[in-house]
Amino acid sequence: MSQETIYCPAIFLTAPASNQGKTTITAALARYFTKQGKVVRVFKTGPDYLDPQILAQASKQPVEQLDIWMAGDDYCQDRLYQAAQVADLILVEGAMGMFDGDPSSADLAARFGIPMAIVMDVKGMAQTAAALATGLANFRDDVSVTGLIANRCGSERHAELIRDALPESLPLLATLKRDEEVTLPERHLGLVQAEEVADELEVRFEAAVDWLQQSNDLGLLRLPEAVAFHPAQQDYSQPPAKQSLQGKTIAVAKDAAFSFIYDANLNALKSLGANIVFFSPLKDASLPPADGLWLPGGYPELHAKALSENTAMRTALQAFFATGKPILAECGGMLYSLEELTDLEGHCYPMLGILPGQGAMRGKRGCQGMQTAVIPQGDIRGHAHHRSRSENTPEPVGHGRRQRHPAPGEAIYQQQGLTASYLHLFFPSNLEAVAALFSGVKSLEESA
Q: How far apart are CA 318 and CA 184, in angstroms?
A: 38
Q: How far apart are CA 28 and CA 40, in angstroms?
A: 12
Query: Which pLDDT value is given to residue 186?
Result: 56
Residue 397 in contact with residue 390, Cβ under 8 Å? no
Query: Which pLDDT value is given to residue 230?
Result: 96
Query: Which pLDDT value is given to residue 244?
Result: 83
Segment (H or E) for 6? strand 6-14
Catalytic residue among 8, 76, 153, 331: 331
Query: Which pLDDT value is given to residue 193?
Result: 59
DSSP β-bridge partners for residue 413: 420
- Among candidate residues 119, 118, 129, the one with its CA nearest the CA of residue 165: 129
Q: What is the DSSP letter of 230?
A: -
Query: Range(s) for CATH 3.40.50.300 in the chain?
Result: 6-229
Amino acid at 197: V
Strands 226-229 and 6-14, by their bridges, are: antiparallel
Residue 388 in contact with residue 360, Cβ under 8 Å? yes
User: What are the CA-CA distances from residue 365 to residues 140, 193, 386, 387 (Å)?
Assistant: 35, 21, 9, 6
- This prediction's pTM: 0.89
- Among candidate residues 196, 193, 226, the one with its CA nearest the CA of residue 114: 226
Q: How far apart are CA 360 and CA 340, in angstroms?
A: 8
Alpha helices, H only, 153-280: 156-165, 198-213, 263-271
Query: Range(s) for CATH 3.40.50.880 in the chain?
Result: 249-447
Domain boundaries 6-229, corresponding CATH code: 3.40.50.300
Query: Which pLDDT value is given to residue 406?
Result: 83
Q: How far apart are CA 316 and CA 382, in angstroms?
A: 29
Q: How far apart are CA 424 and CA 261, in angstroms?
A: 9
Q: How far apart are CA 29 and CA 200, in angstroms?
A: 18
- Among candidate residues 251, 232, 189, the one with its CA nearest the CA of residue 85: 232
Active site residue 367: no
Residue 339 in contact with residue 358, Cβ under 8 Å? yes
Per-residue pLDDT of the chain (448 residues; tens, 9 = 90+): 457 999 999 999 999 999 999 999 999 999 999 999 999 999 999 888 888 989 999 999 999 999 999 989 999 999 999 999 999 999 999 999 999 998 999 999 999 999 999 999 999 999 999 999 999 999 999 999 999 999 999 899 999 999 999 999 999 999 888 777 667 665 444 445 556 666 788 888 888 888 889 888 888 999 999 999 999 988 877 766 566 899 999 999 999 999 999 999 999 999 999 999 999 999 999 999 999 999 999 999 999 999 999 999 999 999 999 999 999 999 999 999 999 999 988 999 999 999 999 999 876 655 678 899 999 999 999 999 877 889 999 999 999 999 888 888 899 999 999 999 999 999 999 999 999 999 998 876 665 5
DSSP β-bridge partners for residue 383: 370, 424
Residue 39 in contact with residue 61, Cβ under 8 Å? yes
Residue 22 in contact with residue 15, Cβ under 8 Å? yes
Q: What is the DSSP letter of 36?
A: T
Q: What is the DSSP letter of 428?
A: G
Burial 296-321 (b: 16+ CB within 10 A, else e): bbbbbbbbbebbbebeebbebbeebb
| Domain boundaries 249-447, CATH class | alpha beta
**What's the sign of the alpha-carbon dihedral 180, 182, 183, 186?**
positive
Q: How far apart are CA 230 and CA 78, in angstroms?
A: 8
- Among candidate residues 55, 30, 31, the one with its CA nearest the CA of residue 45: 55
DSSP β-bridge partners for residue 401: 372, 408
Q: How far apart are CA 184 and CA 121, in angstroms?
A: 15
- 3-state secondary structure (DSSP) of residue 332: helix
